Amino acid sequence: MMRTQHRIVICCILAALAVLCHGAPLRRGPPVGPYRYGRKQASINASEKQLIDRCKVYFRNATLDHFSWATPPEHRTTFQQRYFVCDEDWKTQADGSKGPMFFYVGNEADVTLYLNASGLIWENAPAFGALIVFAEHRYYGVSKPFKKTLKEHMQFLTSEQAMADYAELITELKHDLGAKSSAIIGFGGSYGGMLATWMRLKYPHILDGAIAGSAPIWTYLGEDPPYDAGSFAKIVTRDASEEGGSAPACSSNVRQVWKAMFELGESKKGRAEITEAMRVCPDLLESTDDVAALADWASSAWDYMAMGNFPYPSTYILNGGGEMPAYPVRVACESLAKEKMSTDELFSGFADSLGIFYNYTKDVECYDFKAGANPETEEDGNFWDYQWCTEQFQPFSRDGKHDMYWDQPFSMKDSIERCQGQWGVTPRPMWATIQWGGRRIETASNIVFSNGLYDPWHGGGVLKNLSDSLVAVIIPEGAHHIDLMFSNKLDPPSVKQARAFELDNIRKWIDEVAERNKQQLPSSSISGTS
């Protein structure tokens, strides 16, 4: 049997994706990034420990509800928001002003995850003399507005509230640290990159520029041209094909697996055959619903391997709990490389491929796709589902033709009903586009959008320059915001170029702020009288 530890990680990764741990028949597609399965206490290895030791942790009284003045539940008008300040590189500049602030716009997990992973910030702060701040997103990590009653008071979990927290925090920091004239550069990956983008749209007076790594801001309903809800699955499929450097037969073999799985899954005998060939733990496949759950669980592995399809071994997608090999999709595809595989060969090869993600310890004896989640680690993952069920209503679909899955059209009706049942909320499908502008963001400025073409999220990313200061950089060999990570000797040139491009833009933004500081801001000019 799998060890408990592994089951935790696996199920948490799945939590927001398919809610399999709770048995809900959700197949809404992938969430933003791997991060939403945060940890109460991030696991920190030796080098990471050094990073967090270079920071001071603070908690501030953040406004609970920026958008109304209602009497709040339990009469709490504020909550304790955590943030880290790391100032050892912060230098006074030649003109006497304080250096810039590199501000990580926290997303859907414990902020120490980003603190430990954001090499781009750490490696470049010294050259910029920059202050580093990592801010935690409300409801995640330890920045939870309520304790036992948290799930009764989910209404304050929105992106707008989180951005207002950051706007207040930056304003306070500039004041408290005497950094009134410092340039503020936002960094974020995945949903954090979306938040950094939206902050530059909505709070350009707070954030002077934003590095938005793998930020799928164009993944909502109501966009014009519309978002291709099938793009995520198509890109995973591309990763598992010759174009993605994988065995040419891989994606068509994967497609065959589902077909065989659903056909055999109809009968008890067939389910026993699947159990045997795929090394599923005994007595789990009792019904067609179980088979559907197995398929969801298995397909998720490919989603995550594609997001983590880095050119070097990485613990990132496994949240530091284990390591996937370089180009995990290619490695997974090695077990499905043969042109004409029998059904047994397919299941056996498929089980091997899943092991890259689900058996990274190499000691899993059978797959328990129903394993329950650790309540603590489950929470953050679930909270992204709340966000998805309210304003982050991103459609996902698969069709089994343009991708290697089976037909799973996006059903707005089913999704809404599922959200009503799960959280008692009704999504407002058009809100994200009305609020954040969809494709119409051309009036914004000072954002670098980076996207790796192995990352399935790039289908909703900004891939072309929209103006001189809304610029896109493509990393053909990159997966999910690889550019934000620490440098690695296996980094392809495109990643190095992307980082250099980002640093150039940051320098330009800082220069703009210095120029602006020289100019007097306009005041009211009232004619005095007596």
Which part of the chain contacts its own copies (CB under 8 A), choosing from 187-195, 235-243, 296-304, 326-334? 235-243
Nearer to its own copies by Cβ, of 320 and 438: the residue is 438
Q: By three-state DSSP, how is residue 310 classified?
A: coil
In the chain, the largest separation of any two C-alpha atoms, in whole Å, equals: 98
Looking at 6, 137, 458, 480, which residue is catalytic? 480
22 is catalytic: no
Nearest distance from C-beta of residue 25 to its own copies, angstroms: 22
**Judged by CB under 8 A, which of 107, 182, 231, 343 binds its own copies?**
231
Which part of the chain contacts its own copies (CB under 8 A), choosing from 186-194, 229-237, 271-279, 312-320? 229-237
Which part of the chain contacts its own copies (CB under 8 A), choosing from 112-120, 123-131, 197-205, 495-503? 197-205
Nearer to its own copies by Cβ, of 27 and 238: the residue is 238
360: tokens are 């990274």
Task: Answer yes or no whether residue 90 interacts with its own copies by CB under 8 A.
Answer: no
459-477 b/e with 16+ CB inside 10 Å = b?
A: bbbbeeebeebbbbbbbeb
Task: Answer yes or no whether residue 76 interacts with its own copies by CB under 8 A.
Answer: no
Residue 326 phi/psi, 5-degree rounding, is -60, 145
Nearer to its own copies by Cβ, of 213 and 461: the residue is 461
Distance from C-alpha of 423 to C-alpha of 482, rounded to nearest angstrom: 33
Site residues for its own copies, 378-397, by CB under 8 A, read: 389-391
Distance from C-alpha of 48 to C-alpha of 50, rounded to nearest angstrom: 5
480 is catalytic: yes
Nearest distance from C-beta of residue 133 to its own copies, angstroms: 17
455 is catalytic: yes
Looking at 118, 159, 182, 190, which residue is catalytic? 190
Q: By three-state DSSP, how is residue 128 classified?
A: helix
Task: Answer yes or no whether residue 238 interacts with its own copies by CB under 8 A.
Answer: yes
| Residues counted in the chain | 530
**Judged by CB under 8 A, which of 440, 490, 496, 500 binds its own copies?**
440
Single out the residue of 95, 103, 91 nearest to residue 128, CA to CA.
Answer: 91
**Judged by CB under 8 A, which of 102, 104, 122, 227 binds its own copies?**
227
Contact 60, 172 (CB under 8 A): yes
Distance from C-alpha of 192 to C-alpha of 201, rounded to nearest angstrom: 14
Nearest distance from C-beta of residue 221 to its own copies, angstroms: 12
Contact 513, 93 (CB under 8 A): no
Distance from C-alpha of 156 to C-alpha of 74, rounded to nearest angstrom: 13
Tell me how far CA of residue 251 lies from CA of 245, 337, 353, 401, 404, in angstroms: 12, 9, 12, 11, 5
**Judged by CB under 8 A, which of 312, 431, 486, 501 binds its own copies?**
431
Q: By three-state DSSP, how is residue 219 classified?
A: coil
Site residues for its own copies, 128-157, by CB under 8 A, read: 154-156
**Helix, strand, coil percent content, the chain, rounded in steps of 5:** 45, 10, 45
**Judged by CB under 8 A, which of 147, 148, 205, 362 binds its own copies?**
205
Nearest distance from C-beta of residue 478 to its own copies, angstroms: 15
Residues involved in catalysis:
190, 455, 480
